[in-house]
Amino acid sequence: MVRTIVAIFSLSLLLFGGVVDDKVKSFVGIKKYEKSKKIIDILLGNKSRYLKDGRVDAVTLLENLKKNGFINLTLKRPMPITVTFETKGRAILFLKILNTALNSMGFNFYTTKKALKDGEKFSWTISMMSEYLLDPVAFSNELKKFGCKVADIEKLSPTKWNYNISMQDAKLRAKEILSDGVYKLKKPIKPYWLMMGDDVSRLMITSYSLNRWHPFIVFFDKKLDILSIYKDSDKREKVSVDIPEKTKYILIDDEFTLTNIRIGLKIYAK
């Protein structure tokens, strides 16, 4: 009986190790893996710790490999790089989060190669010319700020990567607005994004005298589907808007140019 248990345990370790080894090979390359296998085995230690919910924890594995110099994110010259991001549900919110995360990491110039929605599944493939690859560890940490989690990463070639991302707790990074709160918004660099508390029913927005604000306000649900738009081509000093049912996010802009909001806005939530 004891021998049987030991045998099963040993077999499990071998299977776990094999799955992790396959992932390591795909990340570092077969030649580098075969050459440095002993060192990699020592650095990784107990390989079962890289398994989570029956699959390889790619981010933790890549973090260790990167820390020990086995992941090179710099190319010899600018080359076409292709990255595919996959998730389930909430495609518009997914795209907004990805764009914000990529921009914050310095990736501002890329083109969409493909966007595909199949039921709840959504995938977005981008391409860009760069001598730097997207850092998977830094990107994972950036997505955590939005409540997203990288579930898996695949390296299909040195310049082609796939990311599977969980959006179960996804949300925009936006200023939270609660009932009976008063909020002073500074001069904007980009349009304001606000996240509404459940009990907020109306916003009273005041524009300071030096502004020339022509209100452009968009109401979104939690999936970032548009619920309503309020806009006015005339200059306004005060605006009172009712919050449509199911509103989660609000974007506040100027209908013509953001520079019209010279010194910010003041908001009272009711």
Q: What secondary structure, in 3-state letters, does the chain show? A: CHHHHHHHHHHHHHHHHHHHHHHHHHHHCHHHHHHHHHHHHHHHCCHHHHEECCEECHHHHHHHHHHCCCCCCEEEEEEEEEEEEEEECCHHHHHHHHHHHHHHCCCCCCEEEEEEEECCEEEEEEEEEEEECCCHHHHHHHHHCCCCEEEEEEEEECCEEEEEEECCCCCCCCEEECCCCEEEECCCCCCEEEEECCCCCEEEEEECCCCCCCEEEEEECCCCCEEEEEECCCCCCEEEEECCCCCCEEEEEECCCHHHCCCCEEEEEC
Q: What is the CATH number of domain 175-269?
A: 2.60.120
pTM of the model: 0.86
Domain boundaries, the chain: 17-67, 74-166, 175-269
Residue-wise pLDDT for 54-106, tens only, equals: 889 999 999 999 999 999 999 999 999 999 999 998 899 999 999 999 999 99
pLDDT tops 90 at residue 13:
no
What per-residue confidence (pLDDT) applies to 1? Answer: 52
Segment 120-133 shows an average pLDDT of: 96
Mean pLDDT of the chain: 92
The model's confidence at residue 22, banded by pLDDT at 50, 70 and 90, is very high
Fold of domain 74-166: Alpha-Beta Plaits (3.30.70)
The model's confidence at residue 5, banded by pLDDT at 50, 70 and 90, is very low
Q: Which of 114, 168, 112, 173 is nearest to 142 (CA)?
A: 173
CA distance 3 to 26: 35
Segment 38-54 shows an average pLDDT of: 92
pLDDT tops 70 at residue 52:
yes
